[in-house]
Amino acid sequence: MPTIETKEGPLWRKRTTLKQWLIWGGWLIGLCIAVYAWQLISEKTIWMFVWDAPRQMSDIGERMVPPDWSYMPKLWRPVWDTLNIATIGTAIAMCLAVPIAFLAAHNTTPHKSVRAVMLFIIVATRSVNSLIWALLLVVIVGPGVLAGTIAIGIRSIGGCAKLIYESIEEIDPKQVEAIKATGGSRAQQMVYGILPQVLPTIAGVGVFRWDINVRGSTILGIVGAGGIGIQLSASINVLAWTQVTTILIVILGTVFVSEYISAKVRGAII
Amino acid sequence: MLRLENLSKRYKTGDLALNNVTLEIPDGQLVALIGPSGAGKSTLIRCVNRLVDATTGTIHLGDREITGLSNKELRRARRRMGMIFQEYALVERLTLMENVLSGRLGYVNFWQSLFRKYPKENVREAYRLLDRVDLMHMVDKRADELSGGQRQRVGICRALIQDPELLLVDEPTASLDPKTSRQIMRLIRELCEERKLAAIINIHDVALAQMFSERVVGLKLGEIVYDGAPEGLTPEVLTEIYGEEDWEKTIEKVDDEDDMPNDGEMA
């Protein structure tokens, strides 16, 4: 932050001239890379298909309407399965995520090595997509709702535990100090000093994750892990586009409702 | 009786917060600990209940040596030392009752505290204390709904329900307005008299210290530079503790029953 002396008094600029030019240079290099990348993509694209896209889209669009409402009765059960996968999966994930978070946060972990193991669990469960977990679990426990539930559960542990342990690390330490000063044990310090401070986060994370999982579980059926995705992939396979429309509308409705519920619940907690 | 002998504390950063402090506080005495920021006041009282571990020296409360207690014995010793904090340090999302009862955590087991199954006489005592500080009507309110003065009164209840023999009070009025400060200090003094409690009160406000304590200890750079009656705080003594400043106005009015903000309020 240089101050430049001039005849009319000191002049202040945020950056030196050199720094400013470097920043502009950086933008220029970025632009060149973008143009080059665009060219590469353009060379590898079969443009005939792209020019054809609007016609194909209107073609599918035409075949997708009107939605086949007679298919509805067959969808209630899969929707119910989908919601169960999301709900039970989230519940399992939260039961595991809370203790993992306490073991991972640097102010509550019993030892650095425990923290390292927990952070590894968090990263490992987070890095693999739930569809891939489901793919593996369908092989292990067989196709169906169970595979989907476990897949959603495992996938959610990392995300939930990460948010919770970060909030544990950000608590107000004075409240814990006060509990410590009364002669409270470590367990009591957690229950009185820490838990009340992170409880809103835990609840919020749970509801938020459930909301994500409702969306996530609609697709699991594509690999045979239960839920409405099974119907979706079956209808696409037989090119029953009007049924596909119905299913998409149902998924939209489900997600809409779940989002409404989670917004309401979060509003009530915080 | 609380006895500190040759107490020193050096933090990991290399700062010497306490330098060979020796201090004796008889039962039932109210001591104000004054001194500039960074003089080691907070460190001193935190060494007593070992929220901070002293580097060298010993602390005795009664016959018991606090320094060198095992974890379990330390928890037992902490029960007899109530602590009151500058920013109240209440558990914000718990109710007043829960906050007061948390003072009993050293006495009840984990499951009792988890399910809030405190012995009947604890609950009765909590009601009595909340009534004593005029917060009976707010028992089930959450701590974060209270004003500063109300919070500090809850903090006092939490310390007293421990049934302490000693109060450690860290800047109880630093976040409060002048009138509330006086009320809180008066409350602490009255309660100490009622229960024959000894107390160490860290305080920045020299006028308040003079008004409400029987003895003033001045700390400077981790060493005791004054130990005596409140009346003995002459401009020379204050200069010794804090450095050069016009002190005449600060000590002009040593008038207890005055509830009005004092002209000489320390900045």
**Closest residue of A to B170, CA-based?**
A178
pLDDT (0 to 100) of residue B265: 40
pLDDT (0 to 100) of residue A270: 66
Distance, CA of B50 to CA of A161 (rounded, Å): 32
> Does residue B74 sit in the same domain as residue B12?
yes
Residue B150 lies in a domain: yes
**Helix/strand/coil for B88:** coil
**Helix/strand/coil for A12:** strand
Residue B147 lies in a domain: yes
Least confident residue range of A9-23, A84-98, B27-41, B207-221 = A9-23
pLDDT (0 to 100) of residue A60: 86
Q: Dump pLDDT digits (tens) for A230-247.
A: 888 888 888 888 888 998
Dihedral sign of CA atoms A145, A150, A153, A158 in order:
negative
Q: How confident is the model at residue B263 (pLDDT cuts 50, 70, 90)?
A: very low
> Does residue B57 sit in the same domain as residue B169?
yes
> Does residue B96 sit in the same domain as residue B139?
yes
Q: pLDDT at residue B103 above 90?
A: yes
Per the CB < 8 A criterion, the answer to whether B47 and B54 are in contact is yes
Per the CB < 8 A criterion, the answer to whether B34 and B204 are in contact is yes
Q: pLDDT at residue B254 above 70?
A: no
> Does residue B171 sit in the same domain as residue B75?
yes
Residue listed under structure tokens 């005795």 = B60
Calculate the alpha carbon distances from B66 to B57, B145, B224 in Å: 11, 37, 21
- How far does A113 lie from chain B, in Å, by closest CA? 23
pLDDT (0 to 100) of residue B261: 44
Q: What is the rounded average pLDDT of the residues A209-214?
A: 90
Of the candidates A174, A183, A196, which has its C-beta nearest B105's C-beta? A183
Q: Dump pLDDT digits (tens) for A137-157.
A: 999 998 888 999 999 999 999
Q: What is the rounded average pLDDT of the residues A57-62?
A: 88
Residue B170 lies in a domain: yes
**Helix/strand/coil for A59:** helix
Of the candidates A180, A184, A188, which has its C-beta nearest B51's C-beta? A180
Comparing A8 with B81, the larger pLDDT belongs to B81
> Does residue B145 sit in the same domain as residue B184?
no
DSSP codes joined into one string, B111-169: HHHHTT---HHHHHHHHHHHHHTT-GGGTTSBGGGS-HHHHHHHHHHHHHTT--SEEEE
Dihedral sign of CA atoms A231, A233, A239, A241 in order:
positive
**Closest residue of A to B103, CA-based?**
A182
> Does residue B103 sit in the same domain as residue B158?
yes
Closest CA to A84 of A221, A202, A200: A221
Calculate the alpha carbon distances from A228 to A64, A130, A267, B142 in Å: 18, 15, 29, 45
Mean pLDDT taken over chain A: 89
Residue-number span of the structural domain to which B141 is assigned: 89-163
Task: Supply the DSSP symbol for B261.
Answer: P
pLDDT (0 to 100) of residue A172: 93
Distance, CA of A135 to CA of A221 (rounded, Å): 10
Whichever domain contains B222, its CATH number is 3.40.50.300
Residue B2 lies in a domain: yes
pLDDT (0 to 100) of residue B119: 94
Distance, CA of B181 to CA of B262 (rounded, Å): 12
Closest CA to A191 of B165, B111, B86: B111
Q: pLDDT at residue B30 above 60?
A: yes
| H or E stretch covering B59 | strand B56-61
Share of chain A above pLDDT 70, in %: 99
pLDDT (0 to 100) of residue B85: 92
Q: For the whole prediction, is pTM greater than 0.90?
A: no
Instruction: Find which of B91, B95, B116, B168 to mutate to test the A interface (most A CBs within 10 Å of its CB).
Output: B91
Q: Read off φ and ψ for residue A17, nearest 5 degrees.
A: -60, -45
Residues in chain A: 270
Q: Read off φ and ψ for residue B207, nearest 5 degrees.
A: -60, -45
> Does residue B65 sit in the same domain as residue B182?
yes
Which of residues 200 through 239 in chain A touch B, CB cutoff 8 A? 200
Dihedral sign of CA atoms B218, B220, B224, B225 in order:
negative
**Closest residue of B to A188, CA-based?**
B110
Q: pLDDT at residue A64 above 70?
A: yes
Q: pLDDT at residue A61 above 90?
A: no
Q: pLDDT at residue B257 above 70?
A: no
Number of domain units in chain B: 2
| CB spacing of A191 vs B113 below 8 angstroms | yes
> Does residue B14 sit in the same domain as residue B71?
yes
> Does residue B76 sit in the same domain as residue B46?
yes
Q: pLDDT at residue B259 above 70?
A: no
Q: pLDDT at residue A136 above 70?
A: yes
> Does residue B53 sit in the same domain as residue B177?
yes
Residue B262 lies in a domain: no
> Does residue B68 sit in the same domain as residue B100?
no
> Does residue B55 sit in the same domain as residue B74?
yes
Q: How confident is the model at residue A103 (pLDDT cuts 50, 70, 90)?
A: very high
**Helix/strand/coil for A175:** helix
Residue B19 lies in a domain: yes
Closest CA to A244 of A234, A257, A254, A253: A234
pLDDT (0 to 100) of residue B218: 93
Which of residues 33 through 72 in chain B touch A, CB cutoff 8 A? 49, 51
- How far does A203 lie from chain B, in Å, by closest CA? 14
Q: How confident is the model at residue A34 (pLDDT cuts 50, 70, 90)?
A: very high
Alpha-carbon torsion angle A249, A251, A256, A259, nearest 10: -170
pLDDT (0 to 100) of residue B110: 92
Q: Dump pLDDT digits (tens) for A2-28.
A: 777 778 888 888 888 889 999 999 999
Q: Read off φ and ψ for residue B95, nearest 5 degrees.
A: -75, 170
Which residues are CB-neighbours of B50 under 8 A, at least 6 positions away?
B66, B67, B69, B74, B78
Distance, CA of A161 to CA of A81 (rounded, Å): 25
Distance, CA of B178 to CA of A268 (rounded, Å): 38
Residue B223 lies in a domain: yes
Q: Dump pLDDT digits (tens) for A161-200.
A: 999 999 999 999 999 999 999 999 999 999 999 999 999 8
Residue A191 touches partner B, C-beta closer than 8 Å: yes
Instruction: Find which of A167, A171, A175 to mutate to test the B interface (most B CBs within 10 Å of its CB).
Output: A175
pLDDT (0 to 100) of residue A266: 78
Share of chain A residues as helix, strand and coil, in percent rounded to the nearest 5? 80, 5, 15
Q: pLDDT at residue A67 above 90?
A: no
Q: What is the rounded average pLDDT of the residues B140-153?
A: 92
Distance, CA of B75 to CA of B91 (rounded, Å): 20
- How far does A224 lie from chain B, in Å, by closest CA? 43
